[in-house]
Structure 1
Amino acid sequence: MSSLLRLATAGSVDDGKSTLVGRLLYDTKSVLADQLDAVTRASVDRGLDTPDLSLLVDGLRSEREQGITIDVAYRYFATPQRSFVLADTPGHVQYTRNTVTGASTAQLAVLLVDARNGVLEQTRRHAAVLAMLGVPRLVLAVNKIDLVDYDESTFEVIAKEFTDHAVSLGYPMGEVLSIPISALQGDNVVTRSENTPWYTGPALLEHLETVPVAPDPHDAPFRLPVQYVIRPRTAEYPDYRGYAGQIASGTVRTGDEVVVLPQGLRSTVAGIDTADGPLGEAGSGNSVTVLLDDDLDIARGDLIASAGSAPEPADELSATVCWLAGSALRAGSRVLLKHGAKTVQAFVEEIVARFDEQQLRAVHAPESLELNHIGQVRLRTSEPLPADDYRTSPRTGSFLIIDPKDGDTLAAGLVGVGFPALGDAPAASADGQGATG
């Protein structure tokens, strides 16, 4: 079975992200005939002689009319070597939250720049966000290389500037690859181009097919957020008690010792049931019902974890949040926090810092977080939560902040994640803005 790579694209507006994704879909024959027909008709309506491949991704009518991407578009394609889940994220500054969403599960990110413009402020901003989210590998796609006559020196200058910036964010030199491409013409996207004889590296798809996928979620500690307690109470199953959910990370086997959190109760796995029958073991992503040797008081929202590597339940969390609401977040706010299947009351004790996306610095002790702001906060919850560090287990290290009045989602949070290594800004002034703000 081929492996799976989750990747995201990012970059400034008009750098060609959607065209690149469309080219990948088209050249890997991942486009249905009716989809291509619809794109061809739309392209003809625009007066184009050839299909605009970006329309394979820009599905919303407003996006097609404006020629921009304003939402995260997920696409699935495969080659004989590997399957791919791709998130095409928007380029506008005001849609930074969508970039955070699309890149949150990525194992690799392709960051595009226009060869005519080079590394821009938005390029550096996206690289910093990707570093904060812990995306382990970066590819810089220097797009529209045909519009600079396939000039090697132009590519080299851009590649060096970006690599230096990525390394300053904490990326190892070997995890950053720059590729000269033309998404429109297909140069170095699926196959290496004769127009760039000076480039000796892989084409983009070749790199995506061969890059190591890490970390493997099956190697992470076992985590099963309990979604439902199954007790049929029938004559056939009078004593059946199972705990159902989707394994968030790791692998579980019959005979494993586990702990139920936040109670701290210990037991041993007696069986693993699935819709297709019992299993001896199950891994990340599987939906299972776990049976335990002991009759424990377990409810929806509890977490079953490996006994030897369980998180410590805590009622105080330090986290990085991306604020998604039009109303501001201030210290002292009372909110709801949803972690897995459990929702608890929470209190915002402190806004520690804000990530200044203009200066790529930390503004200490800001007065508030506004729409699309990324900040570090301290939260106190009404009861202890078994939350992991996001880098250990993204599923159990993330949460949502919810408005208690209307149930709207206010923010997405990552437990324990800090800002990239950008240096510190001076302390914020009384209005919450630092000297760099």
Structure 2
Amino acid sequence: MTEFDIHAYLEQHRGKDLLRFITCGSVDDGKSTLIGRLLFDTQQVFEDQLAAVERDSRKYGTTGDAPDLALLVDGLQAEREQGITIDVAYRYFTTESRKFIIADTPGHEQYTRNMVTGASTARAAVVLVDATRGMQVQTRRHSYLVHLLGIEQVLVAVNKMDAVDHDRATFEAIERDYEDFARQLGIAHYRCVPVSALTGANVTRPSESMTWYDGPSVLEWLESVPAGGGDDSRRPMRFPVQYVNRSRSDFRGFCGQLAGGCVAPGDPVVVLPSGRRSEVAEVLLHGRAVDRGVAGQSLTLTLADEIDVSRGDMLVHAEQLPRVGDCFDARVVWMHDRPMLPGRQYDMKLAATELPATPEAIHHRIDVNTLEHQPAEQLALNEIGHCRIRTGRALAFDAYHSQPGSGAFILVDRVSNLTVGAGMIVRPVTDALTDKSENVTWHRQSVDKRSRAAQKAQRPAVLWFTGLSGAGKSTVANALEQALFQRGHHSYLLDGDNVRHGLNRDLGFTDEDRVENIRRIGEVARLMADAGLVVLSAFISPFRADRALVRELMEDGEFIEIHVDAPLEVCESRDPKGLYAKARAGVIRNFTGIDSPYEAPEEPEIVVDTAELSVDECVEELLAYLKRRGILIG
């Protein structure tokens, strides 16, 4: 008998990279069966395990006489009895080229919180779709969460192809449905594969029944996608302090897991939120001094200076500072039956920091089916919202997309101590209405708004033109301002493109950037209205909730929402800037009306139909309306 060399075996596997991935999708799409097939076909199942599965298959199985490979993963008795996954199950397997850790996440809606847990450390996702049912609500919800958590590599496994006679048209219809959804969501790297987890077709080997498919199998895709891991080392250095180590009287070490970047002796660091500065004296790994620590390692750092550092503080590189504040906007996934309500206080945990936090406002709720932004006063179980969070004291944080380790948090119920929400920080809040320093106050001026307006024979107002690109917002607003000027009124036109050349040139066109774009414009419009002007704002401003926030900045009657209405096909036929053509070609992403939604006003003050009316006719209607409202005097 040949002696097994355990040391050679371990050395063989030490150099392999590791890919963490999740399987997700709707209930009964076959996630556990797919994982069981991967384990079985890669010879990761011991004989006694297989014997136990064959025995349990007769009691719990759903595959007739054949072993039910899903039982290799579903370990809880309730899971076996119901044939579903409830908790996250982690499994390990290896091939010649790579090591894998799989998180099998539940498909039932009530266990969405478990899916978020499994996805939080994953680098890739396998989203299953049942070929007999097509895309379900959970398919969309899980895909949205995968995108939200920053997982860039997605495989869509269209499972149970054997149940539809390996029909190519069925697969291609589901592929088109997912392509449309992925384009709206912004998922760039995804691949659709037709599989049968039950028979193993296209899981680890090509299918003889689907010769029309010439792409990779699931395993080939898993072996080829980037494993990640190096990305965190290239991020700014973030070291949350979890423990202060005083193992002897002359030693003070700060222990924690490096959440991002690298650290080495001699690096200048800042302690946040206090702002004290020092230099790294030593980096210890497993008690031994090393030249460099990298993200993911649990380290002990010593500093050159005796300064106050406590659990919950964060050490950061002096030239790569995060934001420090007590208010930020975040996307929140709610995980509890009791809804999230603005004003209710929770405990928040971000890295090693624990502190009280209060949701101040819900900007909007996201419909995972349509990706529409909907007004919301609360978040119910499994709902996703864009919220404003205020903390009990200042803390250091980053935007999640740039630094997940210091941009993700959980909310904990203060009574039950249950985790009720998970959040990803979008940006710090600088809104003058909600983020005021105690040393900043509003100064009353000798000349007030009404005096300024009366001098101009008008009342201050913000005319908010909203509509699709090409509807005619800027054209009508420009013509209206010219008419106001000719009549001796004082006005100013804020145009979307013009503002993005200066004030908002740092913003892109993601949903979050659009929110910030409108917030800034609202503040500028409010100041101009305070000057007594008639302000004309011509912006797509696609989301109702954002327009409502601007309305709240103004006094009653000052905000006038004008829907410049034209059908999409009319706007697209005009296409004055060629933007629709680029959006259709995929050159421009997140374009309103194509792959980003437009929420038309429900009760605007006035609608002008530019498909039916000329520009002059639109202006006449608006002038008449402004006179009736008493905005224009004389």
TM over 0.5: yes
Alignment correspondent of 1:11? 25
2:151 aligned with 1:135: yes
- Decide which moves more: 386-395 or 12-21: 386-395
- Give the 3-state SS of the residue equivalent to 1:249 in structure 2: coil
Counterpart mapping for 1:278-297 below 5 A: 278-297=289-308
- Give the 3-state SS of the residue equivalent to 2:263 in structure 1: strand
Alignment correspondent of 2:425? 415
In the TM superposition, residue 176 of structure 1 has moved relative to its aligned partner by 1.4
Counterpart mapping for 1:16-165 below 5 A: 16-46=30-60, 48-165=64-181
For 1:323 and 1:249, locate their aligned partners in 2 and report how far apart those are by CA, in whole Å. 26
Structure 1: 5+ residue runs without aligned partners? 430-437
For 2:301 and 2:123, locate their aligned partners in 1 and report how far apart those are by CA, in whole Å. 29
In the TM superposition, residue 99 of structure 1 has moved relative to its aligned partner by 2.2
Distance change in 2, residues 1:158/1:409 (3 Å): closer
Q: Report if the CA contact (8 A) 1:8-1:106 is conserved.
A: yes
In the TM superposition, residue 142 of structure 1 has moved relative to its aligned partner by 1.1
Alignment correspondent of 1:324? 335
Distance change in 2, residues 1:264/1:27 (3 Å): same
For 2:338 and 2:132, locate their aligned partners in 1 and report how far apart those are by CA, in whole Å. 38
Q: Report if the CA contact (8 A) 1:19-1:53 is conserved.
A: yes
- Decide which moves more: 331-340 or 15-24: 331-340
In the TM superposition, residue 393 of structure 1 has moved relative to its aligned partner by 2.1
For 1:428 and 1:111, locate their aligned partners in 2 and report how far apart those are by CA, in whole Å. 36
Alignment correspondent of 1:255? 266
2:202 aligned with 1:191: no
Alignment correspondent of 1:433? none
Alignment correspondent of 1:338? 349
Alignment correspondent of 1:391? 401
Of residues 204, 219, 222 in structure 1, which corresponds to 2:237?
222
For 1:297 and 1:399, locate their aligned partners in 2 and report how far apart those are by CA, in whole Å. 25
Counterpart mapping for 1:234-313 below 5 A: 238-313=249-324
Q: For each residue in 1:382-434, what CA deviation from the matched residue of structure 2 results, as whole angstroms up to 9, or x when unmatched?
A: 211111111122221111212223422221111118789752556899xxxxx
Larger radius of gyration: 2
Q: Report if the CA contact (8 A) 1:363-1:427 is conserved.
A: no
For 2:125, the aligned partner's letter is A
For 2:19, the aligned partner's letter is L
- Give the 3-state SS of the residue equivalent to 1:135 in structure 2: coil
- Give the 3-state SS of the residue equivalent to 2:99 in structure 1: strand
- Give the 3-state SS of the residue equivalent to 1:34 in structure 2: helix
- Give the 3-state SS of the residue equivalent to 2:348 in structure 1: strand
- Decide which moves more: 294-303 or 246-255: 246-255
Q: For each residue in 1:112-169, what CA deviation from the matched residue of structure 2 results, as whole angstroms up to 9, or x when unmatched?
A: 1122222233322322222222211211111111222222222222212212221221
For 1:385 and 1:28, locate their aligned partners in 2 and report how far apart those are by CA, in whole Å. 47
Distance change in 2, residues 1:91/1:407 (3 Å): closer
Q: For each residue in 1:278-337, what CA deviation from the matched residue of structure 2 results, as whole angstroms up to 9, or x when unmatched?
A: 111111221111111111110011111122222121110211112222222211112221
Distance change in 2, residues 1:17/1:337 (3 Å): same
In the TM superposition, residue 345 of structure 1 has moved relative to its aligned partner by 1.7
Q: Report if the CA contact (8 A) 1:363-1:424 is conserved.
A: no
- Give the 3-state SS of the residue equivalent to 1:389 in structure 2: coil
Q: Report if the CA contact (8 A) 1:400-1:412 is conserved.
A: yes
| Moved segments of 4+, more than 3 Å | 357-360, 417-422, 424-429
For 1:428 and 1:243, locate their aligned partners in 2 and report how far apart those are by CA, in whole Å. 55
Query: Root-mean-square deviation (CA), in Å?
Result: 2.1
- Decide which moves more: 377-386 or 155-164: 155-164
2:370 aligned with 1:379: no
Distance change in 2, residues 1:101/1:161 (3 Å): same
Of residues 232, 244, 252 in structure 1, which corresponds to 2:247?
232
Q: Report if the CA contact (8 A) 2:53-2:72 is conserved.
A: yes
Q: Report if the CA contact (8 A) 2:24-2:125 is conserved.
A: yes
Q: Report if the CA contact (8 A) 1:9-1:112 is conserved.
A: yes
Distance change in 2, residues 1:46/1:275 (3 Å): closer
- Give the 3-state SS of the residue equivalent to 1:190 in structure 2: coil
Per the normalisation by structure 1, the TM-score is 0.91
Alignment correspondent of 2:533? none
Distance change in 2, residues 1:311/1:320 (3 Å): same
- Give the 3-state SS of the residue equivalent to 1:255 in structure 2: coil
Structure 2: 5+ residue runs without aligned partners? 1-14, 428-510, 513-589, 604-634
Greater RCO structure (CA 8 Å; 6+ sep): 1
For 2:362, the aligned partner's letter is I
In the TM superposition, residue 105 of structure 1 has moved relative to its aligned partner by 2.5
Alignment correspondent of 1:432? none
Alignment correspondent of 1:352? 363
Number of equivalenced pairs: 422
Q: Report if the CA contact (8 A) 1:320-1:416 is conserved.
A: yes
Q: Report if the CA contact (8 A) 2:22-2:104 is conserved.
A: yes
For 2:235, the aligned partner's letter is A
For 2:416 and 2:217, locate their aligned partners in 1 and report how far apart those are by CA, in whole Å. 49
For 2:325 and 2:167, locate their aligned partners in 1 and report how far apart those are by CA, in whole Å. 56
Distance change in 2, residues 1:276/1:25 (3 Å): farther
- Give the 3-state SS of the residue equivalent to 1:51 in structure 2: coil
- Decide which moves more: 86-95 or 7-16: 86-95
For 2:371 and 2:298, locate their aligned partners in 1 and report how far apart those are by CA, in whole Å. 41
For 1:120 and 1:264, locate their aligned partners in 2 and report how far apart those are by CA, in whole Å. 49
Q: Report if the CA contact (8 A) 1:321-1:375 is conserved.
A: yes
For 1:159 and 1:354, locate their aligned partners in 2 and report how far apart those are by CA, in whole Å. 27
For 1:303 and 1:116, locate their aligned partners in 2 and report how far apart those are by CA, in whole Å. 50
- Decide which moves more: 414-423 or 21-30: 414-423
For 2:246, the aligned partner's letter is R
For 1:397 and 1:374, locate their aligned partners in 2 and report how far apart those are by CA, in whole Å. 17
In the TM superposition, residue 358 of structure 1 has moved relative to its aligned partner by 5.0
Per the normalisation by structure 2, the TM-score is 0.63
Which structure is higher in helix share? Answer: 2
Q: Report if the CA contact (8 A) 1:115-1:155 is conserved.
A: yes
In the TM superposition, residue 56 of structure 1 has moved relative to its aligned partner by 1.0
- Give the 3-state SS of the residue equivalent to 2:210 in structure 1: coil
- Decide which moves more: 385-394 or 412-421: 412-421
